[in-house]
Amino acid sequence: DTGVSQDPRHKITKRGQNVTFRCDPISEHNRLYWYRQTLGQGPEFLTYFQNEAQLEKSRLLSDRFSAERPKGSFSTLEIQRTEQGDSAMYLCASRSGSGETQYFGPGTRLLVL
Amino acid sequence: EDQVTQSPEALRLQEGESSSLNCSYTVSGLRGLFWYRQDPGKGPEFLFTLYSAGEEKEKERLKATLTKKESFLHITAPKPEDSATYLCAVQPSGQAGTALIFGKGTTLSVSS
């Protein structure tokens, strides 16, 4: 399978706990995006990497959120001290340097109790 | 402010009943407009990219068109398996990160 993969697919946690999600982009894609989607809404941009550099962050990305892409391949998104409002689908997308189309992974659905 | 509005929010069709979904956008400059299909609990699946007014793309029963202010996704003779949420997104020009701005989507239900 050469598509974008995300792990885990589902996560249930208690308020105040930390969670970490992983994204593996399409192998030749050097650009990686994180989005968040809540019920009935379209995805909202969180952050963007070109290779290992984090070049853009949305104001939606509070200080409790941190993302990394240490070797320019997979990426992780960590949420510290989770709140009920963090419950959402977290989507990862990747694209090549020569194209504009972003390809999405299956998402990680987070439920904060 | 860059904005995308999709209509209708929901659409119910009988199998074979053709219709169109609308995506209106306001951006300072358009680098590209994208259509995605999303099934419940899954990530968006890429359908089309349109770059300039007058451009059209087709795939099976779907056809996407673009003007300077809106895009349409035409569905010809839909089947129940076309039931999904269709998302429209724009990529404004001048944004370094090329993040997409999405509409809320149109949820299509096709009954047999």
B49/A55 Cβ within 8 A: no
Residue A15 pLDDT > 70: yes
- List pLDDT tens digits, range B1-17: 889 999 999 999 999 99
Q: What pLDDT band is residue B97 in, cutting at 50, 70 and 90?
A: low
The residue type found at A24 is D
Contact yes or no for B65/B20 (Cβ under 8 A): no
* Alpha-carbon span A106 to A8, nearest angstrom: 10
* Chain B residues with beta carbon closer than 8 angstroms to that of A8: none
Confidence band for A107, pLDDT divided at 50, 70 and 90: very high
Contact across the interface for A42 and B34, Cβ inside 8 Å: no
pLDDT of residue B93: 86
CA closest to B102 among chain A residues = A42
Task: Judge contact between A17 and A78, C-beta under 8 A.
Answer: no
Report the residue of chain B nearest A107, measured CA to CA: B43
Indicate yes or no: CB of B103 within 8 angstroms of CB of A42.
Answer: yes
Burial of B3 (0-12, 13-18, 19+ CB in 10 A): exposed
B109, B13 contact by CB (below 8 A): yes
Which residue is listed with tokens 């999709």? B6
Residues of A in contact with B41 (CB under 8 A): 107, 109
Chain B residues closer than 8 Å to A42 by CB:
4, 87, 89, 102-105
pLDDT tens-place string over residues A19-54: 999 999 999 899 999 999 999 999 999 999 999 999
Q: Are A105 and A23 in contact (CB under 8 A)?
A: yes
Q: What is the DSSP string of chain A?
A: --S-EEE-SEEEE-TT--EEEEEE--TT--EEEEEEE-TTS--EEEEEEETTEEEEE-TTS-TTEEEE-TTSS-EEEEESS--GGG-EEEEEEEE-SS----EE---EEEEE-
